[in-house]
Amino acid sequence: MEFFLQQTVNGLTLGSVYALLALGYSMVYGVLKFLNFAHGEVYMFGAFAGYGVLTVLGGPTGLIVPVWLALTLMFVGAMVVSSGVGVALERFAYRPLRNASRLAPLISAIGASFFLQAAALLLFTANSRSYEAPQLIPIENGLSIGPVDVWAVRVMVIVVTVVLMILLTWWVKSSKAGKAVRAVSFDAEAAAMMGIDVNRVVLVTFLIGSALAGVGGVMVGLVFGRIFHFMGFIAGLKAFTAAVVGGIGSIPGAMLGGLLIGFAEAYTTAYISSTFQNLIVFGLLIVFLLIRPSGVLGRPELVKV
Amino acid sequence: MSNIGVDRWVAESSEHGPKGKGWTAPARSLLDRVPSGWKLLGFLVVAAVYPFLVPQAGVRIGITALLLAMLAIGLNTVVGWAGLLDLGYIAFYGFGAYFYGAVSSDQIGVQWPTWVAIPVIVLASAVLGALLSLPSRRLVGDYLAIMTLFFAQVFLEVIVNYERLPGVDTNLTGGPNGIIGVQPWQLFGFPFDTFNRNYFLLLVLLGLVIVLLRNIDQSRTGRAWRALREDTLAAAHMTTPVNRLKMLAFAVGAAVAGLTGTVLGPVQVGVFPNNFQLLFLITIYAALILGGLGSIPGAVLGAIAVAFTPEILRNPGIAGWLFYIGVVVLLVTVLRRWRMVAAVLAGVVVLGYLVRFLSLAIWDETILGAANDTFLSGILDGWLLILGPASDVVSNYAFVLALAGVLAVTVARGWRRGALLVPTIYLAILVWENKLSLQDSVTRQLLFGAVLVVMMAVRPEGILGTRRVEIT
Amino acid sequence: MSTPILEIKDLSKSFGGLKVIQGLDLSVAPGEVLSVIGPNGAGKTTLFNIISGIYPPDSGEILLDGTSIVGSSPEQIAGLGIARTFQTLRVFLNMTVRENVMAATYGATKARMWQSALRTPKARREERETRELAEAKLSFFGERLVGYRWDQPAYSLSYANRRRLEIARAMATNPRLLMLDEPAAGMNPVETLEITALIGRLRDEAGFSILVIEHDMHVVEGVSDRVVALDHGVKIAEGTYEKVAEDRAVIEAYLGYGAAGRK
């Protein structure tokens, strides 16, 4: 039971990160109807930005500011860098292809993803880095839920994710910009005719999606340790899986999908085999895609003739 | 026809002027006039002479190019003709290579004769490809792409962890170490056991594949593929069995990839999981897209370009020349006026001396002189700032700034563009001499990624492809 | 009257709660041009989509020459002899005009892929026949789609010519029933007259039975042997053009209640 609870917390943490990433895929897909394949790289740059801020502040052992401030600055730094990368992607890799075939943006995205990986390799070398978060916040600090002790960092990850989700849902539902995003994802052409600046909406979507990915990157660095130039690829695939499982284009769907994938991965690692963790997650996705391509919360689209 | 009206003149106007637009137009119109059979013959003749003119290393690069060309042509069937984005393609290459490796080495103690192994492998690859096409019945576009990408990942995981799969007791794939000691093809007692022999084997296979695929392209099957690429629903309404044709496309692509895989093992006397990473899939895509999606000559040309590029990058002298020539060519095409080009170049030179002067004054770690010992670096010696290994941070910042500069130049207009070019070019040279030219494999990756993005934006039809109209 | 080519019995279809077609009966006799008219949203295009196999009907029967085609896929239905054009043009833009038409013969040709790959005599003969068939179909349009256009990509054609090409493509599937979805939409008056004449020739010279959706009443008047009017998925009138055009329910469907002179 204790072990199971521990894995549940594990899955919840992992799922939070996937959910944050999945949101980026889902939002961009909603607005532009294409898959931002390079989103995983945005997240990777966020993780490195967080590391950079940490290093500038003196590293995990020699912090020159209080821990809470350091963490805040790391998140902010990651959000800024990730949004920068995301917006640059939109402006230079995707915007020129707005009216091209469906194949073009995807290939461009693959190229951009590849380019960003190589750039990270040049900038950060192939060595992996570690936040060494236990030195920031000792592993003993945390909450006790029944028989399980939950590390404060994990609690923070889950809480921050929940808060961000609530904020985002509110923003999309109620704010003027959020309504514009929904209008564009419903029908970009009609929205443009109603005076909505589609380019602006797309930019905002990338900005928010990328910032969330940056937060996710720092979280992974804090909880799971190693960050490296290739980390975005597999995480991106899984987050995309999460977005699809939840129903692409749907914000609650992305959250739900993220959690599902997180749990699936945590339990697979714990009860079956860590070697086949990826194999099983991908296998699940393939089966899922075949049975219900529109996802748990998505609606199947009608063929328009 | 009785009278030629305006209507007809307009319709034929493309034939009055020079064909197409852009700098490749003359070459393309010349190429278009040569019948494809002669083009193929010409290519084969040149390719057949090539190994006698170059050292052994050159033949190896030639083999790489031919392997890549075969793969690009196979991929073209699925992506270029049928319009199905297949990111699992690399797995069929791996499947063919591992299958051949397993039955032509001591791995599991089985040795099949080549004439048995090859047909079986090609057929098995085709069947596997047909199986992967099943999801394409329900999934289209991005979903299909991701699904196939998962397939490739699953394939890799299985290859690497085969031994640990439940219920497995043979070490069929050799795990992370791969299969070593793969035997060469042997036909009629003739072993293809040298680089040269494998080169010619590949050349013959390539010629064969080109002829067969070209015939298919011009038959009802090829037309049906294009029809379903253009408009799947309309194709179905015109009696095209869509699912069957998707399956055929996947199967044909997979068969070509599987066939290509069987030659990889003998060439490198082994098969390794690293041969089938995503990196190589992207390389195949880069070749295909560079040459022109949908065009066989394009795929071959793209493969040659992509195979030889890293070899050129590996030689710092030639790479340097190419880099500087590239910079000047880009300058000319971007600015279009010689006076502007000269002004910008002068600006770069002045900026270089300025930076050097300031740097020497305030920072004593500056090292002078080029990092690479080439002819060009001799000229650059007195001008450029060469950062020591300790100042990696500076070159990192320079790299990021140079990237930002390049992006800014693409959106800037008028004099701002010229003004931005000066620091951008200086930074680019700085980064090139201090960073890029020293890490050729990463630079290649950077280049391929950039090629895909730039080609999609500027010339989605590639060098030899024809531009497609999507919506009118 | 001989047995109908197409017979639809009690057909119903709804999307969600919206009943698009309700209990529709309809038949097309051999060699007949039947026009389907009705205001926007009456369910005309949905009817075509159900007949051609894009959507399955919720209930009802569709018989082609007395055999049910419900549940068959679009390509099977096309193979059985129902060809259609689309309201929003769907020609294969990046293929040549000739190829567009040749592509529609896939179901009727037999060369296996390996035969094409090896260019066996049989495959070559079939390819030549396909080519001749396509050229014959294109020649039907006379001066409008003449030879020099055949090797041009379809995207270079004018709007009216794309409509003609779509019809040629449908003809190449060798159908018994031709379904034209608003063939005169977006055409100028001269072209509209031509289309009217063309539909008559398709019936008289080429011998097709034709089901046509059309908004332009001049075309409907000019080509129809019979007219069926739909409104909200229900058949509200059927008969000759004159009879339907004067039908009170039809006028009300188009112009609103009271328009037919009711006090």
pLDDT, residue C212, reads 93
Chain A interface disruption, residue of B438, B442, B456, B471, most A CBs within 10 A: B456
pLDDT, residue A298, reads 63
Chain B interface disruption, residue of C48, C52, C69, C75, most B CBs within 10 A: C75
Q: Are C54 and A303 a contacting pair at CB < 8 A? A: yes
B396: closest CA among B427, B363, B361, B351?
B427
Q: Are A122 and B460 a contacting pair at CB < 8 A? A: no
**How far A303 CA sits from the closest chain C CA (Å)?**
8
Q: Are C117 and B216 a contacting pair at CB < 8 A? A: yes
- Tell me: the pLDDT tens digits for A80-117? 999 999 999 998 888 888 877 777 888 888 889 989 99
Q: Are A17 and A219 in contact (CB under 8 A)?
A: yes
pLDDT, residue B9, reads 46
Angle between the N-to-C axes of helices B440-458 and B296-314, in degrees from 0 to 180, rounded to the nearest 10:
150
Say whether pLDDT at A299 is over 70.
no
Give yes or no for B219 touching C (CB within 8 A).
yes
How many whole angstroms separate alpha carbon B94 and alpha carbon B100? 10
Chain C residues in contact with A302 (beta carbon < 8 A): 15
Q: Are A121 and B396 a contacting pair at CB < 8 A? A: no
Cα–Cα–Cα angle for B358, B427, B411, rounded to 5 degrees: 130
Q: C-alpha A191: how far from its chain's center?
A: 27
How many whole angstroms separate alpha carbon C169 and alpha carbon C166? 5
How many whole angstroms separate alpha carbon C48 and alpha carbon C213? 9
Q: CA torsion, points B232, B236, B241, B243, in degrees to nearest 10? A: 40
Length of chain A measured in residues: 305
Give yes or no for A291 touching C (CB within 8 A).
no
Bridge partners (DSSP) of residue C180 are C212
Which of the 8 DSSP states describes residue C33? E
Q: Are B238 and C104 a contacting pair at CB < 8 A? A: yes
How many whole angstroms separate alpha carbon A282 and alpha carbon A11? 16
Structure tokens at B390: 């300790």
Distant-in-sequence, close-in-space partners of C51: CB < 8 Å, separation ≥ 6: C6, C8, C62, C69, C77, C82, C84, C179, C211
- % of chain A exceeding 90 in pLDDT: 24
What are the phi and psi torsion angles at C85 (to 5°)?
Answer: -115, 170
**How far B463 CA sits from the closest chain A CA (Å)?**
16
Chain C residues in contact with B11 (beta carbon < 8 A): 148-149, 152, 156
Residues 391-420 of B with CB under 8 A from A: 396, 399-400, 403, 407, 410-411
Q: Sign of the CA dihedral B131, B133, B139, B142? A: positive
- Tell me: the pLDDT tens digits for C4-50? 889 999 999 988 888 889 999 999 999 999 999 988 888 888 999 99
Hunting for tokens 């070159």 — which residue is that? B395
Q: Residue A99 is which amino acid?
A: N
pLDDT, residue B19, reads 45
B133: closest CA among B212, B242, B259?
B242
- Tell me: the pLDDT tens digits for C112-156? 888 898 999 999 999 999 999 999 988 888 877 777 788 888 888
Give yes or no for A301 touching C (CB within 8 A).
no
Structure tokens at B254: 């997979």
Q: Are C21 and C50 in contact (CB under 8 A)?
A: yes
Q: C-alpha C145: how far from its chain's center?
A: 20
Counting as low any pLDDT under 70, the low residues of chain B are 1-28, 31, 140-141, 363-391, 470-472
Q: Are C103 and B252 a contacting pair at CB < 8 A? A: no
How many whole angstroms separate alpha carbon B286 and alpha carbon B275? 16
Say whether pLDDT at C263 is over 80.
no
Q: Residue C126 is which amino acid?
A: E
pLDDT, residue B322, reads 80
Bridge partners (DSSP) of residue A148 are A145
Pairing mode, if any, of strands C209-213 and C177-181?
Answer: parallel
How many whole angstroms separate alpha carbon A133 and alpha carbon A113? 28
Q: Are B154 and A275 a contacting pair at CB < 8 A? A: no
Distant-in-sequence, close-in-space partners of B170: CB < 8 Å, separation ≥ 6: B108
Distant-in-sequence, close-in-space partners of A231: CB < 8 Å, separation ≥ 6: A40, A43, A44, A47, A220
Length of chain B measured in residues: 472
Distant-in-sequence, close-in-space partners of A146: CB < 8 Å, separation ≥ 6: A5
Which of the 8 DSSP states describes residue C153? B
Q: Residue A34: helix, strand or coil by DSSP?
A: coil
Q: C-alpha B118: how far from its chain's center?
A: 26
Give yes or no for C139 touching B (CB within 8 A).
no
Find the closest chain B residue to C173 by CA distance: B238
Q: Are C7 and C33 in contact (CB under 8 A)?
A: no
**How far C173 CA sits from the closest chain B CA (Å)?**
6
Of B135, B233, B289, the CB nearest to A107: B289
Structure tokens at B245: 């044709």
- Tell me: the pLDDT tens digits for B314-371? 777 777 788 888 888 888 877 777 888 888 888 888 888 888 777 777 766 555 544 5
Q: For residue A123, what is the enclosing H or E element?
A: helix A103-124
pLDDT band, residue A300 (cuts 50/70/90) = low
Length of chain C measured in residues: 263
How many whole angstroms separate alpha carbon A114 and alpha carbon B283? 10
pLDDT, residue B18, reads 42
Q: What is the pTM of this model?
A: 0.84
How many whole angstroms separate alpha carbon A141 and alpha carbon A161? 20
Say whether pLDDT at C72 is over 80.
yes
Question: In this structure, how many other beta carbons lie within 10 angstroms of the beta carbon of residue A62?
Answer: 8
Q: Are A25 and A254 in contact (CB under 8 A)?
A: yes
Say whether pLDDT at C238 is over 60.
yes
Chain B residues in contact with A244 (beta carbon < 8 A): 143, 146
Q: For residue A142, what is the enclosing H or E element?
A: strand A142-145
Say whether pLDDT at A151 is over 80.
yes
Give yes or no for A303 touching C (CB within 8 A).
yes
Bridge partners (DSSP) of residue A145 are A148
Q: CA torsion, points B312, B313, B315, B320, in degrees to nearest 10? A: 100
Chain B interface disruption, residue of A80, A113, A115, most B CBs within 10 A: A115
Give yes or no for C111 touching B (CB within 8 A).
yes
B222: closest CA among B291, B295, B172, B271?
B295
End-to-end CA distance of chain B: 29
**How far A241 CA sits from the closest chain B CA (Å)?**
9
Q: Are A108 and B446 a contacting pair at CB < 8 A? A: no
pLDDT, residue C147, reads 75
Chain B interface disruption, residue of A32, A89, A108, most B CBs within 10 A: A108
Give yes or no for B233 touching A (CB within 8 A).
yes
pLDDT band, residue A213 (cuts 50/70/90) = very high
Q: Are B198 and B267 in contact (CB under 8 A)?
A: yes
**Environment class of residue C63 by beta-carbon count within 10 Å: exposed (0-12), middle (13-18) or buried (19+)?**
middle
Q: Are B194 and C98 in contact (CB under 8 A)?
A: no
